[in-house]
């Protein structure tokens, strides 16, 4: 007779229990997928240790404007010995001339060109492979032509992530802050994806990275036989390779504010939808454990909000909705507060619950769109 009221367990009580369970799932999700980044203390080389030479690879397809604006920030990194390999992948704009002009000023810049072939069509993975083959160093750092580093210490911070036995370094690739609600929504989406995969790597369960800001060794690339396991997929030169090659012992995370890269977010919802469809096309090839981890994150969020909607079925439980939602907001702000500061995304914290709700609504649209989006060429 410890719980005599259980004899009158009705709909109101059931809905309350289900909502409470949803809140528990959300807190567990924050602990698993957010807390590790907030508590992170990066393992890195001591500043006194000699930094190994680095090869930085950028694949460019019709990127003359972006290269003109951003390549100088790459070439002027404060690093003792590095080369920059720019792969000009069948560009028909002024990309080649831009690279040639910069090469006259910066001797560590090397151009590799891929010519159009009417019989053989390739994706970005081929361009990355060509770039890797052109490098002379073992440590490889990757970014995109439309990206720029937050400081001239970016390359040094990423390279210092190659501590003892570390072969993969995952960084944060953010989107530039601009006006408009869509910009914040895109940035929050990228932010939460990064928080999740960085947390996974910190806990020794890496499952993805982004080509805008990541690094690995050439030895690891060849040991894994490159992209051979998923070369038939247009996307995945970054996340699928990390899912395949990274493990609890060889991965490191770098979230120093000096080591963030920025790129310009899409301007329209349609452009963003197409971009997301390309990115989501690789998820089915993740390992089972990776898909389970990602699945729990989304399940906890959908379950929580559905349980809140269910509370509206009775007047008694209806009154609980604002209380539980407020508690959720407080916990979310507590868990994300330190992370948004660490990743220079402070302005996303206040509206994070709204952004999350909207993303949960439109993600099914993205998943439907990927079924109809079959790109035959690569874009950023």
Per residue in 23-59, pLDDT (tens digit) is: 999 999 999 999 999 988 765 655 556 889 999 999 9
pTM metric for this prediction: 0.90
Tell me how far apart the alpha carbons of residues 85 and 171 are, in angstroms, rounded to a whole number. Answer: 20
List helix spans (H) across the chain. 11-33, 35-38, 64-75, 95-105, 124-133, 154-160, 181-202, 218-223, 239-245, 269-280, 288-310, 315-318, 320-342, 352-372
Is a pLDDT exceeding 80 seen at residue 3? no
Domain membership of residue 276 (yes or no) is: no
Domain membership of residue 247 (yes or no) is: yes
In this predicted model, what pLDDT tens digit does every residue of 91-106 receive, in sequence order? 899 999 999 999 999 9
| Buried-exposed string 9-30: b where 16+ CB fall within 10 A, e elsewhere | eeebeebbebbeebbebbbebb
Of 281 and 151, the structure prediction assigns the larger pLDDT to: 151
Closest residue by Cα to residue 72 from 139, 152, 128, 134? 152
Task: Kindly report the CATH number assigned to the domain that includes residue 231.
Answer: 3.90.550.10
Domain membership of residue 272 (yes or no) is: no
What sign results for the dihedral spanned by CA atoms 276, 278, 284, 286?
negative
Domain membership of residue 211 (yes or no) is: yes
- 208 alpha carbon, distance to own chain's centre: 7
What sign results for the dihedral spanned by CA atoms 319, 28, 259, 211?
negative
Pairing of strands 168-170, 147-149: unpaired
- Residues pairing with 84 in the sheet: 56, 109
Of 375 and 86, the structure prediction assigns the larger pLDDT to: 86
Domain membership of residue 225 (yes or no) is: yes
Domain of 255 in residue numbering reads as 54-184+201-266
Token reading at 150: 């937050």
pLDDT of amino acid 200: 95
pLDDT of amino acid 2: 40
Domain membership of residue 84 (yes or no) is: yes
What is the band of 354 on the pLDDT scale with cuts at 50, 70, 90?
A: very high
pLDDT of amino acid 6: 46
Domain membership of residue 301 (yes or no) is: no
Domain membership of residue 171 (yes or no) is: yes
Q: Which residue has the tokens 């940035």?
A: 187
Number of domains observed in the structure of the chain: 1
In this predicted model, what pLDDT tens digit does every residue of 178-229 receive, in sequence order? 999 999 999 999 999 999 999 999 999 999 999 999 999 999 999 999 998 8
């Amino acid at each position: 007779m410890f719980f005599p009221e259980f004899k009158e367990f009705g709909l109101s009580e059931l809905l309350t229990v289900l909502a409470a369970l949803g809140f528990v799932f959300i807190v567990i999700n924050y602990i698993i997928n957010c807390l590790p980044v907030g508590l992170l203390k990066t393992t890195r080389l001591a500043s006194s240790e000699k930094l190994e030479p680095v090869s930085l690879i950028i694949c460019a397809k019709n990127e003359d404007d972006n290269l003109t604006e951003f390549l100088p920030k790459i070439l002027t990194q404060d690093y003792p010995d590095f080369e920059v390999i720019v792969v000009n992948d069948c560009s028909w704009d002024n990309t080649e001339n831009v690279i040639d002009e910069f090469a006259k000023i910066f001797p560590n810049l090397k151009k590799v060109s891929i010519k159009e072939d009417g019989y053989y069509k390739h994706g970005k993975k081929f361009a990355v492979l060509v770039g890797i083959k052109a490098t002379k160093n073992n440590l490889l750092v990757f970014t995109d032509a439309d990206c720029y580093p937050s400081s001239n210490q970016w390359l040094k911070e990423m390279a210092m992530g190659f501590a003892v036995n570390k072969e993969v370094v995952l960084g944060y690739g953010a989107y530039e802050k601009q006006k408009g609600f869509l910009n914040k929504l895109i940035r929050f989406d990228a932010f939460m994806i990064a928080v999740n995969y960085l947390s996974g790597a910190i806990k020794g369960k890496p499952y993805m990275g982004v080509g805008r800001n990541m690094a690995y060794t050439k030895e690891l690339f060849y040991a894994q036989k490159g992209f051979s396991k998923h070369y038939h997929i247009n996307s995945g030169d970054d996340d699928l390779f990390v899912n395949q090659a990274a493990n609890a012992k060889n991965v490191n995370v770098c979230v120093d504010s000096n080591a963030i890269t920025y790129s310009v977010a899409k301007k329209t919802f349609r452009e963003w939808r197409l971009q997301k469809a390309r990115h989501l096309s690789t998820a089915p090839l993740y390992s089972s454990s990776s898909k389970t981890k990602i699945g729990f994150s989304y399940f906890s969020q959908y379950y929580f909000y559905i349980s809140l909607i269910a509370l509206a079925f009775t007047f008694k439980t209806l009154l609980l909705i604002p209380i539980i939602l407020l508690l959720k907001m407080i916990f979310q702000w507590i868990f994300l507060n330190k992370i948004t500061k660490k990743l220079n995304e402070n302005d996303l914290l206040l509206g994070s619950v709204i952004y999350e709700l909207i993303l949960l609504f439109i993600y099914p649209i993205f998943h439907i769109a990927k079924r109809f989006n079959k790109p035959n060429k690569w874009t950023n």
